[in-house]
Amino acid sequence: MGRSGSCCVADVADLSGGEHLFKRTTSVCPGCLRLLEVDVVIRAGKVYFRKSCPSCGLSEALVSEDARYYVRAYSFARAGTEPLHYSQQAEHGCPTDCGVCDEHEQHTCLPIIEVTDHCNLECPICIVNNQYSTHMSLEDFHSIIDGMVRREGTCESVALSGGEPTSHPQILELIRIAGRPEIGRVVVITNGLRLGRDRAFAEAIKKSGAYVALQLDGFTADAHEKIRGRDLVADKDAALGALKELKIPTQLVFVATRGANEHQIGKAVDLLLEEDHILSLNFQPAAFTGFGGGKYPGDPMDRLTIPGVIQRVEEQTGGRLKKSDFFPLPCSHPQCVSLTYLMRMEDTSYLPFARFVDFTRFGTLLRSSATLPANAEIHEALHDVIHDVFARQDEIERGPEVLAALRGLLLQMFPDRPLTAREQVRIGEGRAKSIFLHHYMDRHDFDLERLRKCCHHYPQADGRVMPACGFNMFHRGAAKGPDTAVAEFARRAPNGAGRSLRVVQGT
């Protein structure tokens, strides 16, 4: 070891050689999933986990391509917000008590409800276990929505996932059930095949008021074949065409994978900036977990991480977006999510908020939301930003234009009338877009510290609310692919906990 102990932020610039211990944390053995205390080491400007399992031996995994980013992210750590009610009491300790227990450090920012285990693709990178056996019943779905509202009071978004949620025979009814006043937007996470092929269905989605999160992992046949198993260029073009023609509010989800589509990251950013109906772009560096991803041919020592994707965004957009435009999301663990907001200027171009906002002072604006909500907290922060920009406009890129755009944003988001909870979430959509980078964990880079602060949760029909990465790795039983044994501390649903509408595959 170059030295022991931990590195401070100021040290990072000097870590060009040797090896430095940054901290210790709890991870898992990539072979047997045993919980282990591991060393987090910095070497040659990158961050690695070093593990020693008494059964499987030594292993290492890359955690971050940029040690400077990794270390500085911790300065954005914030205390979490408790839900109104927890699902259960802690008994054995994390991650055994997932549900979520009263030791979990963050409420649910985004509930993801898996409404079916049917799908019309077999993706090599897929993190879930599609058994083609069940669709969630309306009764169970009602119960989950009621439980989320009871625990959270209001939710900015609720996401419907699967499987492929559009294969659920009652998907439109599920959207209707979720569209209650306490929920700002209902988002359908879809591969888009049905949207592009079934015009009547696309029109029904538009009429329902739902948003669409479209899987779009690239723009060429080879990228789709590597990640999704077949050429989907025509299918994705058809889906994009329907979403644009019907002006359905859209988020793009791009699973960024080394050797498959990393060269097409900039084109996804271009699409976001070109299309008014596309509100947000979510890059997800590939997680090697699940029935597909657990056996996907990825190298844990040479993989894309959040800083690597940001680097490619800068390179492939010609500097229109820069590494300095992205900041860790404070509400989750700071290593989980990075983001930037882009403000629409009067000439319809977009400028990252980081060019005129000091996020070390105005961290309130960093939200786990595709757009800025029109709530009292944001209102106060925008007022302060306007005063700050007014005082510094000669020093700021396009300062007078920024000031005019901010004033317009404030007037649009906060009209002289009370806003409903749904209006608060939706009203600023035409004036700001976002790019998120969310790195789900796998058996190589799992960090218990991150799991405890997770804010993306899977609500279950039995009342549990499972933090996403813990659920995907341990409780599905697919961390290394379809033959993975369930971790010894996993908690499965009790028999009969979930009622389902059972159908035959293909119906």
Residues 367-381: tens digit of each pLDDT:
767 778 888 889 999
Which domains, ranges and CATH numbers included, belong to the chain?
110-345+420-438 (3.20.20.70)
500, pLDDT greater than 90: no
- The whole-number pLDDT of residue 310 equals 98
Euclidean distance between CA atoms 205 and 200, whole angstroms: 9
Q: What is the mean pLDDT of the chain?
A: 88
428 or 302: which leads in pLDDT: 302
- Name the packing angle between helices 233-246 and 199-208 (round to 10°): 40
Euclidean distance between CA atoms 122 and 125, whole angstroms: 9
Q: Which range (117-131, 383-397, 471-485) has the least confidence?
A: 471-485
Q: Which range (59-68, 87-96, 266-275, 356-365) has the least confidence?
A: 87-96
Q: What are the two backbone dihedrals, phi and then psi, of residue 356, each rounded to the nearest 5 degrees?
A: -135, 0
- For the residues 109-128, what does the mean pLDDT come to? 93
pLDDT band at residue 494 using 50, 70 and 90 as cut-offs: very low
- The whole-number pLDDT of residue 84 equals 62
The tokens describing 141, both together, are 């779905």
16, pLDDT greater than 70: no
Percent of the chain whose pLDDT exceeds 90: 66
pLDDT band at residue 430 using 50, 70 and 90 as cut-offs: confident
Euclidean distance between CA atoms 118 and 101, whole angstroms: 30
* Amino acid sitting at position 243: L
Strands (E), 65-161: 110-114, 134-136, 155-161
pLDDT band at residue 114 using 50, 70 and 90 as cut-offs: very high
pLDDT band at residue 501 using 50, 70 and 90 as cut-offs: very low
Euclidean distance between CA atoms 304 and 260, whole angstroms: 11
The secondary structure of residue 254, as a DSSP letter, is E
Distances (CA, A) of 139 to 145, 304, 332, 498: 10, 41, 31, 10
- The whole-number pLDDT of residue 24 equals 97
- For the residues 311-330, what does the mean pLDDT come to? 95
- For the residues 125-141, what does the mean pLDDT come to? 92
Euclidean distance between CA atoms 458 and 76, whole angstroms: 25
